[in-house]
Amino acid sequence: MLVEYALSIPPLVLVFDFNPKEISRTRAITITAGSTPATRGGYDFTLPTETSRVSQGVSVQPESFNVDILIDATDRMNDNHPIATTLGIEPELDTLRTMVEPKAQGPGGVQMLSSLGLGGTRAFDSSESASVILFIWGTHVLPVFLKSITVKEQAHLPTLIPYRATVTLSMQVIESNNPFYEVEKIRQVIGAAVNTGQTVASAIGSLF
């Protein structure tokens, strides 16, 4: 699910079925031209203690995710769910659009006024910001910014209201000092240690 990390009660939430055939996770580094001997790929080195000098001019970019999710009201429509039969998946798509729009980060009423442009000039000009979203995926709870959403509507009611759509979510992890990312780093370190342990055990086992 996606949950807006905000003061609004209840917060914006989008729940979806997600068992993907694939998920794209990207982490890249940026090498600043002119700061390193780019023609040779980096500084000369011999020992691990020289790593900081070798990596001068290199910055690591935060991890990003790209996922495709399906939002479908067909089952609810078959069960004669009143909202699904009249509004399809419009409420879910409106939730996504609201998540990605800048808004005043305050109680729900303040956010709604901000979304309508009625929060007052001062609030609208200086107090609106992008929302922090929690991407809850299996054992992961990652704080992210929604960089973009792309909606492909695939089926519509006679009123042209969509009831099925594929949505591509592009998200960037917020890798700052925050409780969610700190927990994820601990989980990641433990996972790496488990991998190292089983690699060493396998190597030792192959010797006997």
Q: In this structure, what token pair is assigned to residue 184?
A: 């994820």
> From the DSSP assignment, how many helices (H) and strands (E) are in the chain?
7, 11
163: DSSP letter: E
Average pLDDT along the chain, 208 residues, taken 10 residues at a time: 87 82 86 63 84 83 92 94 96 94 67 55 61 91 95 95 94 95 95 95 86
The rounded distance, in Å, linking the Cα atoms of 39 and 23 is 34
CA distance 142 to 181: 6
CA dihedral (178, 181, 183, 188) positive or negative: negative
- 0.75 exceeded by pTM: yes
Q: Residue 37: is the preceding peptide bond cis (ω within 30°)?
A: no
pLDDT of residue 123: 43
Per DSSP, the residues of 74-99 read HHHHHTT-HHHHHHTTHHHHHHHHHH
- The first and second tokens of residue 52, run together, are 């900081």
Q: Give the closest residue to 70 by CA, choosing from 160, 158, 168, 145.
A: 168
Question: Looking at the DSSP assignment, which residues form a beta bridge with residue 135?
Answer: 2, 142
Contacts of 69 (CB under 8 A, 6+ apart): 16, 17, 18, 166, 167, 169
* Maximum Cα interatomic distance, the chain, rounded to a whole number of Å: 75
Interval 37-94: pLDDT, tens: 655 677 788 898 988 888 887 888 999 999 999 999 999 999 999 999 999 999 999 9
